[in-house]
Amino acid sequence: MSLPLAGRHVAVLLGGLSSEREVSLVSGAACATALENLGAKVTRVDAGRDLAQVLTALKPDVCFNALHGAWGEDGCVQGVLETLAIPYTHCGVLASALAMDKARSKAVLAAAGVTVPGGGLFNRFEAARDHVMPPPYVVKPNAEGSSVGVFLVFDGANRPPQELVAPSWTYGDEVMIEPYIAGLELAVAVRDGKALTVTEIVPTTGFYDYDAKYAEGGSRHVVPARMPQEDFDRALRMAELAHAALGCRGVTRSDLRYDPVKRLLVLLEVNTQPGMTPTSLVPEQAAHLGMAFDQLVLWIVEDAYARDIAGGRAR
C-alpha cells in the first residue's frame, strides 16, 4: 500500500530570524521526520531573507510552516508564499499578522465576546520608571511568543523590571501590561474550528516562562484539565470563538488563565503556529484523543492541499 504523501515534495520551513529560532528548529525537525515517515520528499529550509529565491528554485508542492515568531508567524512569510502561489500550512496573512499583535487581537477578540484581560500598551521606558498599574501584573512584548521577554511583577514589588530598559532588550518599545490572573494556566488546541480538549499546565518553576515551556521537566501537563465541566466547556467554546474571530484556519492553540475561586476564565492569546516539539501541547492533546503525531502532521498538510484545490486560500 502506498504511503499518504508518496511522491509529494514538502518544504519544511524552520529556524528563521526570530528569538524563537531554536524552538522552531526542534518543531521543524520533528515535522520533517514525520513527513518522511509518511513517504514525502522533504527539504528542510532555514527560512531567511532569501526564502523566495530558495523556494522558486525548489518548486515544492507544499510548504509546512514550522516557523515561530516574527517573520515566520506574523504574516511576512505567508505573504511570500501567497506571492509564489505555493500552498502552505496554518493561517493566512491577515490572521497571522492579527494574532501576533497582542493589542489588536485583544480588541478583535473582545468585540467578538471573548473575555480577555484588561491592561494595554505602554512605552517600555515609561513602564520601567514606575508601576503603570498596581501589582501583580504581567509585562510582555506586544509581538513575541514562547514567553520570550515576559515578566511577572509580584504584589509588593518595589519597582518594575529594569530589563525593559537594558541594552539587550530587542522586542520593541511598546509592551503589553496586563493584570495577573491568579489560578491555573490552560491551553486549548483547535483543529479545523473544533476544540480538542483543555490542558492544565503546572510549571515546576512557579511561572510558565520560556524554560517551563521547553526545558525537560519544566512543567507538567494534566490532560484533561481538573476543573468543573461547565468551565471546561466554556474554555473549549472560548478557544473556538477566538479561532473564528481572528480568521484562523488549520491548527491553533489558545492560552488561557482560570481563577477557580472566582470562576474567572480569560483568554490571553491565540498561537497560529503552535509548537510541535516533544513537549508541545497540541500533539499531546491530539494523542489524548487518539491521533498520533504523524497523523496530525498529515492532517495539517492535507488541510493546506484542500484549501489550495478549492481555491480558498485566505489572503
Instruction: Provide block-wise average pLDDT over 10 residues at a time, the chain (315 residues).
Output: 83 94 96 97 97 98 96 96 97 97 95 95 95 94 72 92 92 93 96 98 67 59 97 98 98 98 97 89 96 96 83 47
Instruction: Supply the pLDDT for residue 210.
Output: 45
* CATH class of the domain at 120-179: alpha beta
Which of 253, 257, 307, 313 is the catalytic position? 253
Alpha-carbon gap, residue 209 to 147, rounded angstroms: 5
Which candidate, 303, 261, 279, 270, places its Cα nearest to that of 90? 303
pLDDT at 145: 57
CATH T-level assignment (fold) for domain 99-117+181-288? D-amino Acid Aminotransferase; Chain A, domain 1 (3.30.470)
2 is an active site residue: no
Strands 41-46 and 9-14, how do they pair? parallel
Q: CA separation (Å) from 35 to 29, 90, 294?
A: 10, 16, 7
Q: How far from 75 is each of 22, 94, 181, CA to CA, in Å?
A: 20, 7, 30
Return the C-alpha cell found at 180.
495577573
Asked if 158 is an active-site residue, the reply is no
Q: By three-state DSSP, how is residue 235 classified?
A: helix
237 is catalytic: no
User: Domain spans of the chain?
Assistant: 9-91+292-310, 99-117+181-288, 120-179
Residue 145 known to be catalytic: no
Side-chain half-sphere CA neighbours of 250 within 13 A: 35
How far apart are the two ends of the chain, measured CA to CA in Å?
A: 37
Class for the domain spanning 9-91+292-310: alpha beta
